[in-house]
Structure 1
Amino acid sequence: MACRGCCCCGVGPLNEDNARFVLLALLIVLYLLCGAAVFSALEQPREKQAKEKWAQRFEHFSQKHNLSRRELENFLRFYEEANVAGIRVDIARPRWDFTGAFYFVGTVVSTIGFGMTTPTTVGGKIFLIFYGLIGCAATILFFNLFLERLITVLAFVLKSCYEHQRRRKAVLPHSSRHGHGATSGSETRGDSLAGWKPSVYYVMLILCLAAVLVSCCASAMYSAVEGWGYFDSLYFCFVAFSTIGFGDMVSGQRQAYENQTTYQVGNFLFILVGVCCIYSLFNVISIIIKQVLNWILRWLAPPCCGHTCCPGFGLGLRHNAVGPHRNHPRHNISIETDAVNDSEETDGRRMSGEMISMRDFLAANKVNLAIMQKQLSETANGHPCQSGSCSRHNGFSEGVGALAIMNNRLAETSVDR
């Protein structure tokens, strides 16, 4: 039962998802303000020096060659237009041959978008809209499937290590496998490890080490082949692998390389593996951020909440909140973003505050996909909706797929209230 406001806390029926959303939005704004202040302090002096140096060179060149300021500015604008089209002072590889175009579409579908190559024709821009729509969606699906399989492997490895550690501590003795004790030992091991969940922090640490390893190896290759400094190569790896893609440094743009084919293949593989690792790391870090938000919400909870005067906890959260006063286990996987974090008690221990259930994580994604496919199929075949769902009508009642899931969520919210 949610807190609907009381004299001591005066809080309305704000559910946990809304509270987390508002808190995250405020923290992101604060994060942006802090980042802007830091980058402004670091980069603005360098920018002023560059402007002063450019103004001096501009005046010196115009006086030396007896050119008016307006003529020289027009000439520089012409060069900027040519540079956008791919013309440079130094000799660079063609941007729109087949290999250059393949590199371009790779940056499009991966959402990196370096910006060193962009379509200039109307036909190219129109084609890019439809090509990127399908390509980006397919690539994001690939990243999600990669993350699902990666977490499955990590969960299996961590569980094997955990089981081996318990055997070494004589919690799971080998002698239990022989004779009459084999059955009891197997049952004990199954009972003790049935609900085991690897720590999300271990998963984050492994993904972080994998991302660092791939970045260091890629940086060594870029530093040797491109002639960049090693730190600059690390910077490029993060910008590329995180799909930020500033475009100030781009690999594979020189006219020729030694062992060019080998380098192109290595460049493609490093970018692919690096993007997958960083994408997976971002998803796991987002889980930890959500746990931090839950902790902040509990910390901000009024002292009265959780008692008779305020049945909900903190900010009037709904029944699906993870709070300090809830001890009952949840047996059903919620089709929400907090399905990973809200899996609670296992083997007498509460896991939601610090552990992640890989089974819940994978099942939540599969349930979402199954519901979307089922709703699309029923809508296409004209099947009647179930009783109860037909009684829920709002502006999204005829939606399918993700829109129908959103409609169900809205309907559930209205029913809960």
Structure 2
Amino acid sequence: MGITEILNLARVPSILLLGAVYMAYVLAGGLIFWKLEGEMGKKDISRLLQNKQQLLVDYTCLNQKGLEAVAQVVQDSSKAGLSMKGNYTTDGFWKFTSSAVFAATVVTTIGYGNISPSTTAGQIFCVFFALFGIPLNVVVLNRVGKYMLVIERNICDFLQEKTVKKRCTRFLIHLVSYLTGMVLFFVVPMLVFQQHEGWTYSEAIYYCFITLSTIGFGDYVAGGVQIIFNPSIVFNVSEVLTDSNPDKQYPDWYSILMASWIFFGLAWLALLVNHTIDIMERVNTHFRRWWNGGASEKEEPGDAGDAVTQVEEDDEIKKQAK
């Protein structure tokens, strides 16, 4: 038996190729981010140092130690929900509504990081809350996603009975479904956030994807607190919290809209990701067949299990559609 046959039996070429593609993708992403953000980061640091020196020159009574003390006050105030633009504050960020939103970000694994429990009891409770809440969230979202798929398939079946070109009809239904999801979960929220948060359209669409994909950097949080230091006004205590929201008033429906958008948006994007995974698996299967010279592959144990699972899911969806 030759080396090629041994590698084919072990499926090593496919694994190595996937690993190489994955590493190349990550490294290419790192290179692009480095080029896009690296130079700007150096410029920001240089500007920050100049502003710091100018601040010490303008306020001679403020030395390095005093500057550090002011920065600490600003940081602590932002965490507590105190606006530095006035001598007032609300009930803090741990109100019931914001606490409920925080609980949702925990079970959905978004984890913005704009607020977090600081007490020992709160941190321990967060661990157990997430331990049971994350699987519960996955089950619920999976169920909601299946119902979305049921609606889509019911529409497909209904229209296919009325037309002759069934494949074209199914493709158009899928396309309309994706476009509708894009409008509902990206375009409309983008307009809402641009209006109520004061973000640009690019910042709003960026926030939508970062949230629904559960990446959750926390640099932008709708209705929350973001500490984004503007290099041109840094160390100006009255303006340092440029994107802090204690000064903003939100309508009553805003939090309800946010919760609904996150919940259904997560389910929709999870379906989209699953479709993408399925496409990648099909591409991987075609590549393996091409590597084997077009010969049919022996079924792996995992493939049979996946096939059974897919059949069971299809049967369940058909039962729900009836």
TM bucket normalised to smaller: 0.7 to 0.9
Q: Distance in 2 between matches of 1:59 and 1:154?
A: 61
- Using the size of structure 1 for normalisation, the TM-score is 0.61
Q: Distance in 1 between matches of 2:8 and 2:247?
A: 65
Higher helix share: 2
Could you give the per-residue CA deviations for residues 315-335 of structure 1, whole angstroms, max 9, x where no partner exists? xx54249xxxxxxxxxxx932
Amino acid at match of 2:53: E
Written as runs of structure 1 = structure 2, the 5 A alignment for 1:13-412 is 14=9, 22-66=16-60, 67-73=62-68, 75-77=70-72, 79-87=74-82, 89-90=84-85, 94-166=92-164, 205-214=175-184, 215-253=186-224, 254-255=245-246, 260-301=251-292, 303=293, 306=295, 318-320=298-300, 334-336=304-306, 340=310, 359=311, 361-363=313-315
CA contact (8 A) 1:86 1:95 kept: yes
CA contact (8 A) 2:83 2:246 kept: no
Q: What is the SS of the residue equivalent to 1:260?
A: coil
CA contact (8 A) 1:148 1:362 kept: no
Structure 2: runs of 5+ lacking an equivalent: 225-244, 318-322
Q: Distance in 1 between matches of 2:59 and 2:249?
A: 41
CA contact (8 A) 1:207 1:281 kept: no
**CA positional deviation for 1:76:** 2.6
**CA positional deviation for 1:88:** 5.0
Q: Distance in 1 between matches of 2:57 and 2:195?
A: 42
Could you give the per-residue CA deviations for residues 130-164 of structure 1, whole angstroms, max 9, x where no partner exists? 00111111011111112222222222222222222
Q: Distance in 2 between matches of 1:65 and 1:55?
A: 15
Q: Distance in 1 between matches of 2:160 and 2:190?
A: 34
Q: Distance in 1 between matches of 2:105 and 2:15?
A: 31
CA contact (8 A) 1:109 1:136 kept: yes
CA contact (8 A) 1:219 1:230 kept: yes
CA contact (8 A) 1:85 1:120 kept: no
How has the CA–CA distance of structure 1 residues 273 and 58 changed in structure 2, closer, same or farther, with 3 Å as cutoff? same
How has the CA–CA distance of structure 1 residues 217 and 81 changed in structure 2, closer, same or farther, with 3 Å as cutoff? same
**CA positional deviation for 1:293:** 1.4
**CA positional deviation for 1:36:** 0.7
> What's the RMSD between the two structures over aligned residues?
3.3
Query: 1:184 matched to which residue of 2?
Result: none
Q: Distance in 1 between matches of 2:215 and 2:115?
A: 15
**CA positional deviation for 1:83:** 3.6
Amino acid at match of 2:4: C
Q: Distance in 1 between matches of 2:9 and 2:148?
A: 36
Could you give the per-residue CA deviations for residues 66-102 of structure 1, whole angstroms, max 9, x where no partner exists? 3443553354345435544544534775210111111
Q: What is the SS of the residue equivalent to 2:109?
A: coil
Q: Distance in 2 between matches of 1:238 and 1:363?
A: 32
Q: Distance in 1 between matches of 2:149 and 2:214?
A: 21
Q: What is the SS of the residue equivalent to 1:155?
A: helix
Q: Distance in 1 between matches of 2:69 and 2:248?
A: 36
**CA positional deviation for 1:268:** 1.7
**CA positional deviation for 1:269:** 1.5
How has the CA–CA distance of structure 1 residues 7 and 259 changed in structure 2, closer, same or farther, with 3 Å as cutoff? closer
**CA positional deviation for 1:7:** 2.7
How has the CA–CA distance of structure 1 residues 8 and 110 changed in structure 2, closer, same or farther, with 3 Å as cutoff? closer
Could you give the per-residue CA deviations for residues 155-186 of structure 1, whole angstroms, max 9, x where no partner exists? 222222222212xx7xxxxxxxxxxxxxxxxx
Structure 1: runs of 5+ lacking an equivalent: 1-5, 170-192, 307-312, 322-332, 341-358, 366-417
Identity of aligned residues (%): 22
**CA positional deviation for 1:207:** 4.7
| Aligned residues between the structures | 292
- Using the size of structure 2 for normalisation, the TM-score is 0.78
Q: Distance in 2 between matches of 1:299 and 1:271?
A: 41
Amino acid at match of 1:42: L
